[in-house]
Structures are given as C-alpha cells and as structure tokens.
C-alpha cells in the first residue's frame, strides 16, 4: 500500500493522475481541417497520430502494397548514425511484393550493384558470416521499414523469435547462428505477391 501511495503521488506530480490506474478510455474520433502533407516541409497533423489500437489483422488489408513515389534518401541519422543500407534495397522496400533478403541489408553490401536480374535475386551480394552482422542488418531493416511501413510489426516479431531462441543457441558456432538467422529472415520476409495477400 505504501508503494501504491508513493506511485500515486509520483503520478500526481507528473500530471498523469488516475490515468495510471484507470482502464483504457475509448479514443475519440478526430476531425482535421483540410490541409496538405508533403512528408517534408509540410506535415499534416493526421500524420502524427498513433498507430491503430487494434490488432494488425483488423486493418492490414487496407495497407497499400506500394509507396509512390520512391524516395531513396530516408533520414536514418537518428538511428545512432550506424544504419548503412544499399540504396537499391530501399527502393525494393517501397514495394512489399518485391523480395528483400538479409544479404541486401548488410553494411558490407552497401555499394553493391547487381550485374543483372536473375532467378537468384541476391547472387552478387555477400552473406553474413557473423551474428553481429545479422543483428546490424535486422536493425537496418527495422529502421527503413519503420519509415516506409510503420504498421508492419515484422521486425519486432522476428527479433522476439530470435531472442527467445537465443539467436540460435549457446552451443552453435557464430557462423551457424548467422546462417540460421538469415534463413529465418529470408523465409519470413522474402515473400511474393500471392503469399503477401494471404497474410
């Protein structure tokens, strides 16, 4: 009881009040004045709303599969300044029906330019050989996806699976863990249009 009293006092001082203990209130319907949004120098107030407060399956079919126009220079400096991702990968991520593999997210492939399209879409890209490279690639994927598709919780889900699986286990060598994490990523992210519609 003493702890609760102290917590209530902290809430009062921080102006949180009873909201800390009350049940969630229904969110109000908001109405916005007509305006414009250029995603840069003009940002409409509706842009800054929170994400929907329902499970993604209730709105996922409304999320478009492509962002137009393609914009390569997504601001990533705020992500600790260590997100280095190939421009072509950012272009591919504008279309959720275009496959993206773990190789395309590695900083070692930052300057890669595939020689030609082929059945093996990442043939010319280096694979991760260390678990740290996989973790960095997953962070880069999260940063770009957050900018393009904030409604997509794939990065959080993959990270939870990998953490719960201890990133492949204590006994496996680092290269094996990197290969397993890459395979998990590719099987769950590198999807094609017919699979995307089933999600």
pLDDT score recorded for residue 117: 55
Number of H helices, E strands in the chain: 6, 0
> How many other C-beta atoms can be found within 10 angstroms of the C-beta atom of residue 49?
11
Instruction: Note every long-range contact of 170-179, with CB atoms under 8 Å and residues 24 or more positions apart, other chains counting.
Output: 174/130, 174/131, 175/129, 175/130, 177/131, 177/134, 178/128, 178/129, 178/130, 178/131, 178/133, 178/134, 179/127, 179/128
Q: What is the pTM of this model?
A: 0.80
Q: Would you state the structure tokens that stand for residue 43, as one six-digit string? A: 């940002």
The parent domain of residue 68 ranges over 2-196
pLDDT score recorded for residue 11: 75
Residue where the block lists tokens 């519609």: 197
Q: For the chain, which residues score pLDDT lower than 70?
A: 15-22, 80-82, 114-120, 190-199
pLDDT score recorded for residue 81: 56
Which CA distances in Å does 25 have to 20, 45, 146? Answer: 12, 22, 27
pLDDT score recorded for residue 10: 78
pLDDT score recorded for residue 16: 64
- What total of structural domains would you count in the chain? 1
pLDDT score recorded for residue 138: 93
pLDDT score recorded for residue 188: 85
């Amino acid at each position: 009881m003493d702890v609760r009293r102290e917590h209530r006092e902290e809430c009062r001082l921080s102006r949180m009040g009873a909201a800390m203990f009350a049940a969630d209130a229904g969110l109000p319907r908001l109405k916005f004045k007509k305006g414009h949004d250029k995603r840069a120098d003009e940002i409409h107030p509706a842009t800054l709303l929170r994400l929907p407060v329902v499970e993604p399956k209730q709105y996922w079919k409304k999320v478009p599969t492509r962002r137009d126009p393609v914009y390569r220079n997504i601001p990533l400096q705020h992500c600790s300044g260590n997100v280095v991702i190939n421009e072509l990968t950012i272009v591919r991520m504008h279309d959720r029906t275009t496959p993206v593999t773990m190789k395309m997210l590695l900083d070692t492939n930052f300057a890669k330019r595939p020689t030609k399209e082929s059945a093996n879409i990442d043939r010319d890209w280096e694979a991760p050989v260390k678990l740290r490279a996989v973790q960095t690639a997953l962070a880069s994927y999260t940063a770009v996806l957050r900018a393009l598709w904030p409604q997509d919780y794939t990065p959080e889900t993959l990270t939870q699976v990998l953490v719960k699986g201890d990133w492949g286990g204590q006994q496996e060598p680092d290269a094996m863990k990197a290969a397993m994490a890459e395979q998990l990523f590719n099987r769950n992210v590198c999807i094609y249009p017919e699979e995307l519609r089933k999600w």
